[in-house]
């Protein structure tokens, strides 16, 4: 398989982290699964990557990564009780840096000041890329000011897709680059077709297939891209990671990034 090689000199280096928010208007679409596997895939490409569980109502990144023993982190960070680095834990199998959420009996709401403090701190950190998993729905304006782009996760059903279109319009009105990832595509007759999705969404669309490796990986507390890199789901995540890499530029500490393009089914579409 031929490698598409991007050298350091071909893309200008960034001085601040590139921040990507994984969004959804509707819960239960697989947002955390996408965030975890995409962050791991970017780490594997040489990017110094931080994954943040900013879902204040139902944090789950720790469960996906076998870090469920960590019951602090994000809330301490946003309330100014701890710096970014002091709340970071390492996912040992991958080396990924992670800020876990706090699993409590009650959700907490971010104030504008807390959100601003958190994102200002993240923007000053040493990472190439920060992937932020958040609760479904709309966000403080300060959050949109603090991110470079958002990836909206949907399923191929009408309620999920219509909700995704609504939140896309919101981010577009704020001038935020947004793309869509349609998760759990099985090609069933009741699903919205990929053509219809692409024609009605004003941007790039990626498709993640329904794959047994996903629930198996969650039960094993090992991301699918690590548990079975050759699975249909993992290959699709790789394609999305390649697309994201093309916008970020080079990892600051690596000379070469390898993006595997040739011979792979194109899963991104755009009507433009």
CATH code, 60: 3.40.50.300
Q: How far apart are CA 54 and CA 119, in angstroms?
A: 11
Does the predicted model carry a pTM greater than 0.85?
yes
Residue 77's pLDDT is 79
Strands (E), the chain: 3-7, 18-23, 49-54, 89-91, 96-99, 129-134, 149-154, 177-185, 205-209, 256-260, 268-269
Does residue 12 register a pLDDT over 70? no
| Mean pLDDT within 159-166 | 95
Q: How far apart are CA 86 and CA 71, in angstroms?
A: 14
Q: How confident is the model at residue 55 (pLDDT cuts 50, 70, 90)?
A: confident
**Mind spelling out the 3-state secondary structure of 131-148?**
EEEECCCCCCHHHHHHCC
Two tokens, residue 1: 């398989």
Domains in the chain: how many in total? 1
Residue 256's pLDDT is 38
Establish if 272 belongs to a structural domain: no
Q: How far apart are CA 139 and CA 116, in angstroms?
A: 12
Establish if 188 belongs to a structural domain: yes
Give the relative orientation of helices 213-220 and 232-248 as an angle to the nearest 10 degrees: 80
Does residue 11 register a pLDDT over 90? no
Which is more confident, 103 or 30?
30
Establish if 13 belongs to a structural domain: no
Percentage of the residues of the chain whose pLDDT score is greater than 70:
82
Which is more confident, 73 or 161?
161
Strand 205-209 relative to strand 268-269: parallel, antiparallel, unpaired?
Answer: antiparallel
Establish if 109 belongs to a structural domain: yes
Which is more confident, 105 or 116?
116
| Mean pLDDT within 171-176 | 91
Establish if 138 belongs to a structural domain: yes
Residue 145's pLDDT is 75
| Mean pLDDT within 14-20 | 87
| Mean pLDDT within 176-189 | 96
Establish if 80 belongs to a structural domain: yes
Q: How confident is the model at residue 65 (pLDDT cuts 50, 70, 90)?
A: very high
Establish if 271 belongs to a structural domain: no
Establish if 1 belongs to a structural domain: no
Domain that holds residue 201: 18-248
Q: Which residues contact 130 (CB under 8 A, 6 or more apart)?
A: 17, 18, 19, 20, 49, 50, 51, 52, 122
Q: For the chain, what is the radius of gyration of the CA atoms?
A: 18
């Amino acid at each position: 398989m031929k490698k598409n090689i991007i050298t350091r000199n071909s893309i200008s280096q960034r001085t601040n982290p590139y921040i990507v928010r994984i969004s959804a208007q509707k819960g239960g679409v697989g947002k955390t699964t996408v965030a975890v596997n995409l962050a791991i895939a970017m780490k594997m490409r040489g990017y110094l990557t931080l994954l943040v569980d900013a879902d204040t109502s139902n944090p789950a990144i720790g469960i996906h990564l076998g870090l469920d023993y960590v019951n602090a982190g994000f809330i301490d960070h946003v309330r100014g009780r701890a710096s970014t680095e002091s709340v970071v834990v390492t996912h040992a199998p991958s080396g990924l840096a992670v800020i876990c959420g706090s699993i409590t009996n009650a959700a907490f709401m971010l104030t504008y000041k807390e959100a601003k403090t958190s994102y200002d701190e993240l923007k000053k950190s040493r990472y190439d890329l920060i992937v932020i998993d958040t609760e479904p729905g709309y966000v403080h304006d300060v959050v949109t000011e603090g991110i470079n782009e958002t990836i909206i996760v949907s399923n191929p059903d009408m309620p999920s897709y219509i909700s995704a279109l609504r939140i896309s319009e919101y981010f577009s009105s704020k001038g935020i680059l947004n793309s869509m990832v349609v998760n759990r595509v099985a090609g069933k007759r009741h699903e919205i077709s990929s053509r219809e999705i692409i024609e009605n969404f004003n941007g790039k669309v990626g498709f993640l297939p329904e794959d047994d490796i996903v629930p198996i990986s969650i039960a094993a507390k090992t991301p699918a891209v690590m548990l079975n890199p050759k699975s249909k789901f993992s290959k699709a995540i790789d394609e999305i990671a390649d697309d994201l890499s093309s916008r970020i530029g080079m990892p600051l500490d690596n000379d070469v990034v390898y993006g595997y393009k040739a011979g792979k089914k194109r899963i991104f579409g755009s009507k433009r």
